[in-house]
Amino acid sequence: MSYVIGTIINLLVSTSYAMTPLTLTAVGEITSERAGVVNIGLEGMISVSALVSVAVATQTLNPWLGLLAGVGVGALIGLIHGLISAYGKGAQIISGVGINIFALGFVPYMIIALWGVAGYKQVPEAGRIPRVAGLVSPVFILCVLVAIATHYVLFRTSLGLKIRALGEEPQAADTLGIHVERLQLIAAVYGGALAGLAGAFMSLDWLGTITKEIAAGRGFISLALVVFSNWKPSLALLGGALFGSSWALTEWLKVLPGVKGVVPVTIINTLPYVVTLGAVAGVIGRARPPRKSGVPYLRE
Amino acid sequence: MEDTEATGPDECLVSMKSVVKIYPDGTIALRGVDFTLRRGEIHGLLGENGAGKTTLMKILAGVLKPTSGTIYVGGRKVGFSAAADALKLGIGMVHQNLSLIPSFTVYENIVLGLSRRQLLNAKEGINKLMSLTGLKVPLDERVEGLPFGVRQKVEVLKMLFRNVDVLILDEPTTNLTLTETRELFNVINGLRRMGKSVVFITHKLREVLEVADRITVLRRGRVAGEVPRVEASLNLLAQLMVGKDAIPAVSRGVSTVGEELLIVRDLWILSDLGTWAVKGVSLTVRSGEILGIAGVEGNGQKELVEGLTGLRRVEKGEVIFRGQRIDNLPPSELYKLGVAHIPEDRVQVGLIQDFTVNENSILGIQRSMFFRGFLNTLAWDKVVEHASDLITKFNVIVPSLFSPVKYLSGGNQQRLVVAREISKEPQLIIAAQPTRGLDISATEHIRGLLLDLKKRGKVVLLVSSDLEEILQLSDRVAVMYEGRFVGVKDVGELTEDKLGLMLGGVSD
């Protein structure tokens, strides 16, 4: 009996870890896309932020400074992407691809340059984020609050109405005196900051290490989560839990007697991705993206 | 003191002085227009296409910047850099294609952009405004499901809720039913009682006479006249709108009119909005004849052309060409029967801008056996031969046969379209706005080609909002108004009065 309860608690805790980066990144991207700015560079932003937060935390031995640095770097990349998209009217997909490719080279290079090791760097114990009651991450709690608060702002306030108007019909917003570019930039920075928080959480809290493949597709799965949640932060929280639990389940299955050694690990490892694919395929057609999302707004 | 102007006793709320607008492509829309608007008046702004009505009002609403000229609001000189600036001074415009967000509710559309403080009691305020003005809309429904007339009310409410003193309505009755038009007029009269000023942009004579206190008539970017309601009459307004120089004396050449080749009976076609754009049009055209269809744009001409050329579904009625039903046949079938189409939009529809002159010259006839080569591929030598033949015969100036057509001037692009369509040896050619935006030589050349087709006994259906063109080329003229023909007349019977009245929706 206690084994069952223990297993359930274990699964719940691992779910809370696995869902946090997905949900944070998706909630940020939802805000950004609602304002009309699509960022497919999330994967790269998670990696770069994870790296910078480890560098700062290792140097200062203060996890909170590390976390802040990760958020800051995410916001900075979001700012650059926002400037290109909102003010430069540039191609958002290209800019996003650029971020991903930058991260692909920057992260492994910096791991070698900073620590002289190839591949990964362990975070010292003093640089890791402490857990609440030894189990729950404070970032997970923050993630739940952020999702709920973002949902409230988007759908219950005049600021949210303005943001959503930008993704639907920026011209209508413009004629009513809403500062289209400024708000789009703010939304892009917010999206970047949350992706940065997700990256910092992964390296400083969940995994306690930085590897060059730390994001492992989570940035792209977050993009799928955005679609799955129909651009609603509250549903991103639920969808994050679904995707996260499949991750937790995978880890549990790998060591389960009777499965371990029988089913190849590589097949078990595909589970979260299969769940993502199935879930998104199921909602496609029903999900309704913001009409002018990803389209640069040009005046007459 | 020099930036202000004394407010007269007649409460001149807005005054625009010598406004000139030249668009970046060189089109001169306004050539020095003066316009005044008094407090609490309904001001009709009348004119046909290209008169500059919408441009003038977009300048007042801050959407466009004037090339030169000054604007005074409440006696103070103003300069707007965005629509929001005009809105702050109480000037709001309801555009012809409304600017609402379809996925938002009516309420959300009305309060969009307002501060949190303004949102307190907003619903109450809107409800009060609705009962005050008689504009009833369902606040909690999404805009995308609402009919056009209701959406327009939402736009008006949106402006009124922002406390505008000046409301500009651009051709507001275009997509409305008769009942909805009545309702709108009641609302406008209510606004006058509230002390608001309304600018009513229209080309509809009866409507402007019914609702306006004062009428400014624009013609080709100039003020043709400013008339108080009491002095205005249908005939006077029609004359001002069209002008005395409208009817050119040009010999159209002798044509031998033959049998009735094209017969259209009771045609009904829907617009994109799902309203009736063409409401029971009937016409016959005989061989060796040009039938001109005139009218201010937006009265169903575009849908009529698309219906006749197989690009839009014909809901009801029949089209008979040489004894055969051709309604709802696909364009490829129509081509085989000898129907050619010079589309209104050469940039998007008539040509593929990134394709070369060669490729564009065979669009629509690329399946012809003439261009077939080894293993059914295109025989490029034949294509090049065809293209170079066209450009010599029709005087198209091109950098090379292998350059994309986007590098051709507008006139040469249009010559290429016309050349290609005529090379199909059509029996019936439907030409929509064939010379719009072209210089004089290209215009003359294309008009000459149409006259030539007619002399060779073909049927030409000419749809144009350029009156001079209609009168110069047509043997008979039909005027389209609100989806119907207000009359079909031999060109000799037409006077400028009569034409102006018909354009404004008045038949005799």
The ipTM is 0.84
On chain B, the residues whose CB falls within 8 A of the CB of A162 are 112-113
A200-232 pLDDT, tens digit each: 999 999 999 999 999 999 999 999 999 999 999
B418 plus B433 within the same structural domain: no
B310 plus B185 within the same structural domain: no
Tokens of A125: 């114990």
Nearest to B84 among A162, A177, A288 (CB): A177
The predicted structure's pLDDT at residue B245: 60
Tokens of A166: 């930008």
Give the angle B185-B190-B193 at the CA atoms, nearest 5°. 135
Tell me if B162 is assigned to some domain: yes
Exposure of A42 in the CB half-sphere (CA atoms within 13 A): 34
Cβ distance B83 to A173 less than 8 Å, yes or no, reads no
Is this model's pTM higher than 0.80 or not?
no
B260 plus B229 within the same structural domain: no
Q: What is the pLDDT along chain B (508 residues), one digit of tens a residue?
A: 344 444 444 578 999 999 999 988 777 889 999 999 999 999 999 988 778 999 999 999 999 999 999 999 999 999 998 888 999 999 999 998 778 999 999 999 999 988 888 888 899 999 999 999 889 999 999 998 888 889 999 999 999 999 999 999 999 988 787 788 899 999 999 999 999 999 999 988 889 999 999 999 999 899 999 999 999 998 899 889 887 665 555 555 555 667 888 999 999 999 888 889 999 999 999 988 999 999 888 899 999 999 999 999 999 999 999 989 999 999 889 988 999 999 988 888 889 989 999 999 998 888 777 888 777 788 888 899 999 999 998 888 888 899 898 888 777 888 899 999 988 889 999 999 998 877 777 788 889 999 999 988 899 999 998 888 888 899 999 999 999 999 888 888 887 778 888 888 887 6
On chain B, the residues whose CB falls within 8 A of the CB of A161 are 104, 108, 111-113
Tell me if B348 is assigned to some domain: no
B54 plus B124 within the same structural domain: yes
Residue in A16, A12, A13, A23 with CA at minimum distance from that of residue A46: A23
| B interface with A, Cβ–Cβ below 8 Å | 63-64, 82-84, 87-88, 99-104, 108-109, 111-116, 119
**Taking phi first (over 0 means left), then psi (-120 to 50 degrees means alpha), and beta for anything else, what does residue B422 get?**
alpha
The predicted structure's pLDDT at residue B297: 82
A45-82 pLDDT, tens digit each: 999 999 999 999 999 999 999 999 999 999 999 999 99
B45 plus B139 within the same structural domain: yes
| A interface with B, Cβ–Cβ below 8 Å | 157-158, 161-162, 164-165, 168-169, 171-178, 288, 291, 300
Q: What is the rounded distance in angstroms from the CA atom of residue B387 to the CA atom of residue A109?
A: 58
Q: What is the rounded distance in angstroms from the CA atom of residue A75 to the CA atom of residue A187?
A: 10
Tell me if B477 is assigned to some domain: yes
Which residue ranges form the domains of chain A, and what is each CATH number? 2-283 (1.10.3470)
Q: How far is CA A27 from the centre of its chain?
A: 8
Element (H, E) at B56: helix B53-60
- A291 to chain B: closest CA residue: B103
On chain B, the residues whose CB falls within 8 A of the CB of A173 are 112-113
The predicted structure's pLDDT at residue B2: 42
- A164 to chain B: closest CA residue: B104
A178-196 pLDDT, tens digit each: 999 999 999 999 999 999 9
Tell me if B347 is assigned to some domain: no
- Helix, strand, or coil (residue B255): coil
B377 plus B439 within the same structural domain: no
What total of structural domains would you count in chain B?
3
On chain B, the residues whose CB falls within 8 A of the CB of A169 are 99-102
Q: Pick from B425, B446, B474: which residue ends a domain? A: B425
Q: What is the mean pLDDT of chain A?
A: 93
Tell me if B346 is assigned to some domain: no
On chain B, the residues whose CB falls within 8 A of the CB of A288 are 103
Q: Pick from B242, B266, B287: which residue ends a domain? A: B242
Q: Pick from B425, B452, B482: which residue ends a domain? A: B425
- Helix, strand, or coil (residue B466): coil
B255 plus B364 within the same structural domain: no
- Given 3-state DSSP classes, what are the helix, strand and coil percentages for chain B, each rounded to the nearest 5? 35, 25, 35
Q: What is the rounded distance in angstroms from the CA atom of residue A134 to the CA atom of residue A144?
A: 19
B118 plus B266 within the same structural domain: no
Nearest to A175 among B99, B111, B115 (CB): B99
Q: How far is CA A165 from the centre of its chain?
A: 24
On chain B, the residues whose CB falls within 8 A of the CB of A158 are 111, 113-116, 119
**Which domain range does residue B379 map to?**
353-425
B306 plus B323 within the same structural domain: yes
The predicted structure's pLDDT at residue B376: 79
B68 plus B197 within the same structural domain: yes
B221 plus B259 within the same structural domain: no
- B61 to chain A: closest CA residue: A175
Is A300 exposed, middle or buried (CB count within 10 Å of its CB: 0-12, 13-18, 19+)? exposed
B373 plus B481 within the same structural domain: no
